[in-house]
Amino acid sequence: MDKNRCDKNSLKLRADGKMNKKILKNCGVILIVLFCLIPSTSSINLIDNTSKSNEEGLVYKEYYPGAPFDDLSICYYQPNQVIIKFDKKILDVKDIDEYDNYPVLKRSQGLNAVSVEYNGNNIHEYIENLNNIDRDEIEYAELNFVGTGCNDPHWNEQWGHQSVKIPEAWKKSKGRKSDGTRIVIAILDTGLDFNHEDINADDRVIYQYDVVNQDTDASDDHWHGTFNAGLIIATHDNNKGIKGIAPECNLVIIKVLDENNNCNALDVADGIYRALEFADIISMSLAFRNSPTSLITTCNNAYNQGAFLVAATGNEGLDIGYPAKYESVMAVGAIKPTLKGCDWSNVGPELELVGPGVDVISTLPNNKYEKKSGTSYASTYVAGVAALIMSSAVDSDFDDNENKNWENHEIRQYLMHIAFDLKRWYERDIFTSHGLVQAIKGPKNREINNNPITNLINNIINIFPIFKQLEKSLFYKLYLSNCLEGG
Ligand SMILES: [Ca+2]
Ligand SMILES: [Ca+2]
Ligand SMILES: [Ca+2]
Ligand SMILES: [Ca+2]
């Protein structure tokens, strides 16, 4: 890149930095006065140099190990890290070790972005400068936001593959096509215990990478990844543990979640780019409360390249997290064995399917097995079921481009079409959407579909659009009392 130009820009920034310090000092006095007079009325305010709140009231704060993810008004970011995405035609990230004199920490060649170690005074101002300054090589800059693996909210019920009709689907395929090709699922998680007795990692894992520690050993230092991988791939009929959903598919194991089950946007983006090289399906049991540009860019790209992306909605009992919320990613929530929703499973109009998410049994590191609950496992169910269907002959009604192969949008439509409809009151609801994922096409939930009261309500809603508005109040409340079990 043009070194002189870079230096010139750095000078400009340094000058800006001095100015900003002065302004900040003055602002500080004004802010203190304002704070005493009219507390919490301003929508954008600097709390200190590291924290900042945005227009929607989300507060950006520095992440620290053990940071609680239960306060939903806080978005954590990696301290002193800035993601800068460059235009590859002007600047290739493999050619730089620093930018604006800030050393490069990590790079994603796929996204053509780096994270740099920022050691200036105000990271938020620096990013704002980068986004506003006229430098052709920069597409955008952002904080390196931190997400979290969707964890175990402690529920206590039995569950199995039966309700998803997985054993019936095994009669046709277990993840390998009739021509011998195996469907490849990339699991972006905390890694895998490659020595687990019920996981044949030597044969089934075709690629591994640890984006967190930047090495080629994606061993699991948490348990979340081993749990999700085992749910899909665990060996059948070996007198050990469990039966995986699609034991004959191949896995790509990419470690993007750290030992605390947390991740950052650049690592996930880089993981997706690495997965794309091999995978038909990309499974992400992780969620961010906000939408990092690096994440949406990467997900859209992966979907356009033909990958089928699945993600968990998250376990906060609120609206759906990212990447599940993106159009390019299938959003999956959790339900209980009673086919009722869980009040911690995030919902919203972007929800597409629900899967078993309570008391799911799978593998843990060191040859252990345990039951866990969370949208993570519901989402993994959908990834596994998608592999079973993609390895079977295509349904001609869904083969839009008539090439006798399953494309990502075709499999997505099919999954929603054959889902077991759980609606009670009207067509499609935010709590279970199209319904429970199914591995084979079977009878729908006829009892509900043919219920005259449901039909009448559906007809009224369809004729008078004003009733659609009522969904948000009356019907949703009815739904809450009828379909959700608190806990
Ligand atoms: Ca490693
Ligand atoms: Ca087994
Ligand atoms: Ca989505
Ligand atoms: Ca097709």
- Is the pLDDT at 274 greater than 70? The verdict is yes
Which ligand lies nearest the alpha carbon of 348? 3
Quote the CA–CA distance of 487 and 477 in Å, as a whole number.
17
Please indicate, yes or no, if residue 317 is contained in any of the structural domains: yes
Please indicate, yes or no, if residue 247 is contained in any of the structural domains: yes
Which ligand lies nearest the alpha carbon of 303? 3
Please indicate, yes or no, if residue 429 is contained in any of the structural domains: no
The CATH number linked to 116 is 3.30.70.80
For 261, phi and psi rounded to 5 degrees?
A: 70, 30
Q: Where are the beta strands (DSSP E) in 316-430?
A: 329-335, 341-342, 351-356, 360-364, 368-372
pLDDT tens-digit series, residues 7-18:
333 333 333 444
* 177 and 134 co-located in one domain: no
Q: How many CA atoms lie within 13 A of 188 on its CB side?
A: 36
> What is the pLDDT at residue 53?
87
* 26 and 109 co-located in one domain: yes
* 249 and 294 co-located in one domain: yes
Domain span at residue 338?
Answer: 162-418
Active-site residue, from 376, 379, 391, 392: 376
Query: 397, 418, 439 — which closes off a domain?
Result: 418
The CATH number linked to 275 is 3.40.50.200
> What is the pLDDT at residue 484?
39
pLDDT tens-digit series, residues 25-70:
554 444 444 443 443 333 344 457 888 888 888 899 999 887 877 6
Which amino acid would we find at residue 227?
A: F
Q: Are 152 and 342 in contact (CB under 8 A)?
A: no
Q: What is the mean pLDDT of the chain?
A: 83
Token pair in block for residue 442:
């079977």
Comparing 21-30, 185-194, 238-247, 448-457, the range with the smallest average pLDDT is 21-30
Comparing 37-41, 171-175, 359-363, 436-440, the range with the smallest average pLDDT is 37-41
- Contacts of residue 275, defined as CB under 8 A and 6 or more positions apart, other chains included, come to 186, 188, 252, 254, 282, 302, 307
Query: 146, 171, 198 — which closes off a domain?
Result: 146
Q: Are 415 and 385 in contact (CB under 8 A)?
A: yes
Q: Which residues of 27-60 are buried (b: 16+ CB within 10 A; e: fewer)?
A: eeeeeeeeeeeeeeeeeeebeeeeebbeeeeeeb
Query: 396, 418, 440 — which closes off a domain?
Result: 418
* 99 and 167 co-located in one domain: no
Q: Are strands 329-335 and 351-356 parallel, antiparallel or unpaired?
A: parallel
Nearest to 259 by CA among 297, 302, 213, 316: 213
- Is the pLDDT at 466 greater than 90? The verdict is no
Mean pLDDT value of segment 282-307:
97
* 275 and 393 co-located in one domain: yes
Q: Are 244 and 388 in contact (CB under 8 A)?
A: no
* 218 and 290 co-located in one domain: yes
Please indicate, yes or no, if residue 462 is contained in any of the structural domains: no
Q: What angle do CA 158, 437, 472 make, to 5 degrees?
A: 95
* 16 and 69 co-located in one domain: yes
Q: How far is the CA of 429 from the centre of ligand 4 (A)?
A: 29
Q: Of the segments 10-24, 423-437, 466-480, which one has the largest average pLDDT value?
A: 423-437
Active site (annotated) includes residue 429: no
* 69 and 182 co-located in one domain: no
* 97 and 211 co-located in one domain: no
Comparing 53-67, 106-120, 266-280, the range with the smallest average pLDDT is 53-67
Q: How far is the CA of 165 from the centre of ligand 2 (A)?
A: 18
Comparing 65-69, 148-152, 317-321, the range with the smallest average pLDDT is 148-152
In the chain, the number of structural domains is 2
Please indicate, yes or no, if residue 156 is contained in any of the structural domains: no
Active-site residue, from 161, 196, 222, 224: 224
Report residue 450's pLDDT band, with 50, 70 and 90 as the boundaries: low
Q: How far is the CA of 210 from the centre of ligand 1 (A)?
A: 5
* 209 and 86 co-located in one domain: no
* 133 and 206 co-located in one domain: no
pLDDT tens-digit series, residues 71-80:
778 899 999 9
* 58 and 112 co-located in one domain: yes
Active site (annotated) includes residue 481: no
Please indicate, yes or no, if residue 323 is contained in any of the structural domains: yes
Q: What is the DSSP string of 69-99?
A: ---TTEEEEEEEEEEEEE-TTT--GGG-SEE
3-state helix, strand, coil in the chain (%, to 5): 30, 25, 45
Higher-scoring residue by pLDDT: 301, 23: 301
Active-site residue, from 189, 198, 359, 421: 189
Task: Read off the pTM.
Answer: 0.73
Please indicate, yes or no, if residue 387 is contained in any of the structural domains: yes
The region that residue 175 occupies, defined by phi over 0 for left and psi between -120 and 50 for alpha, beta otherwise, is left
- Is the pLDDT at 186 greater than 90? The verdict is yes
pLDDT tens-digit series, residues 402-428:
999 999 999 999 999 999 888 655 444
Which ligand lies nearest the alpha carbon of 405? 4
Token pair in block for residue 196:
């687990």
Which ligand lies nearest the alpha carbon of 395? 4
Please indicate, yes or no, if residue 438 is contained in any of the structural domains: no
Q: How far is the CA of 390 from the centre of ligand 1 (A)?
A: 31
